């Protein structure tokens, strides 16, 4: 995530605190932090994927890493975050990512917080694209797309959130063999701080 001028950072903090106060959660004294939460699924021949659901059953590894870094799709009391970036990652070990990426790059994203849809049908191609330029893996089996959100999206404590991705068509079994699909949310967060000052 790129560095932001102080005024833009303060806007994130102010929106976060204002939204939480409106819900009755005063979080002024909680510890500020950078927050990244992620969830992973096997990519299969379906058109819809719901991330951050049934997290308790996803603590097992997918590939060589944990499937998620959360145990529930809501933050604990005193915790929350402002989402600034959406990150979609695809890894396909048999090196036919270009086939799977044809489907993913035309997908749309919805983000739901509580019962509210805060992002609707955002096209993934609005991001940086699934190209080797952004590749984290030199074997060209891993690809990601990152979308910097222009609106501060607040996830308050104890409110469920989901990320739904819809593909234009169901990928073939060959395109998704052993493929994994990961979504991450990045941004400013608050952690529970039992002290009155820090």
Query: Per-residue pLDDT tens for 75-103?
Result: 988 888 889 899 888 776 665 555 566 77
pLDDT at 198: 47
69 or 142, greater pLDDT: 69
The pTM of this model reads 0.78
pLDDT at 133: 39
Residues 6+ apart with CB under 8 A from 64: none
Could you tell me the pLDDT band of residue 163, with boundaries at 50, 70 and 90? very high
Structural domains present in the chain:
6-191 (2.60.120)
175 or 46, greater pLDDT: 46
Cα–Cα distance measured from residue 133 to residue 136, given in angstroms and rounded to the nearest whole number: 9
Question: Over the chain, what is the mean pLDDT?
Answer: 76
Could you tell me the pLDDT band of residue 194, with boundaries at 50, 70 and 90? confident
pLDDT at 138: 41
pLDDT tens sequence across 15-42? 666 666 665 566 566 677 889 999 998 8
pLDDT at 136: 41
User: pLDDT > 90: what percent of the chain?
Assistant: 20
56 or 63, greater pLDDT: 56
Q: Which residues pair with 190 in a beta bridge?
A: 32, 80
Report the half-sphere exposure of 74 (CA within 13 A, side-chain side).
11
């Amino acid at each position: 995530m790129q560095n932001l001028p102080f005024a833009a950072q303060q806007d994130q903090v102010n929106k976060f605190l204002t939204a939480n106060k409106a819900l009755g959660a005063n979080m002024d004294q909680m510890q500020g932090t950078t927050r990244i939460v992620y969830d992973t699924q096997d990519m299969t021949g379906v058109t819809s994927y719901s991330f951050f659901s049934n997290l308790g059953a996803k603590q097992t590894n997918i590939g060589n890493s944990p499937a998620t870094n959360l145990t529930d799709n809501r933050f604990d009391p005193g915790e929350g975050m402002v989402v600034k970036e959406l990150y979609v990652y695809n890894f396909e070990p048999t090196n036919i990512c270009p086939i799977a990426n044809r489907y993913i790059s035309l997908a749309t994203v919805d983000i739901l917080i509580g019962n509210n849809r805060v992002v609707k049908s955002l096209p993934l191609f609005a991001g940086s694209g699934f190209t080797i330029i952004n590749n984290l893996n030199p074997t060209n089996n891993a690809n990601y797309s990152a979308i910097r959100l222009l609106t501060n999206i607040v996830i308050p404590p104890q409110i469920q959130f989901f990320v739904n991705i819809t593909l234009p068509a169901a990928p073939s079994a060959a395109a998704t063999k052993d493929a994994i699909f990961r979504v991450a949310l990045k941004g400013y967060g608050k952690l529970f701080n039992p002290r009155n000052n820090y």
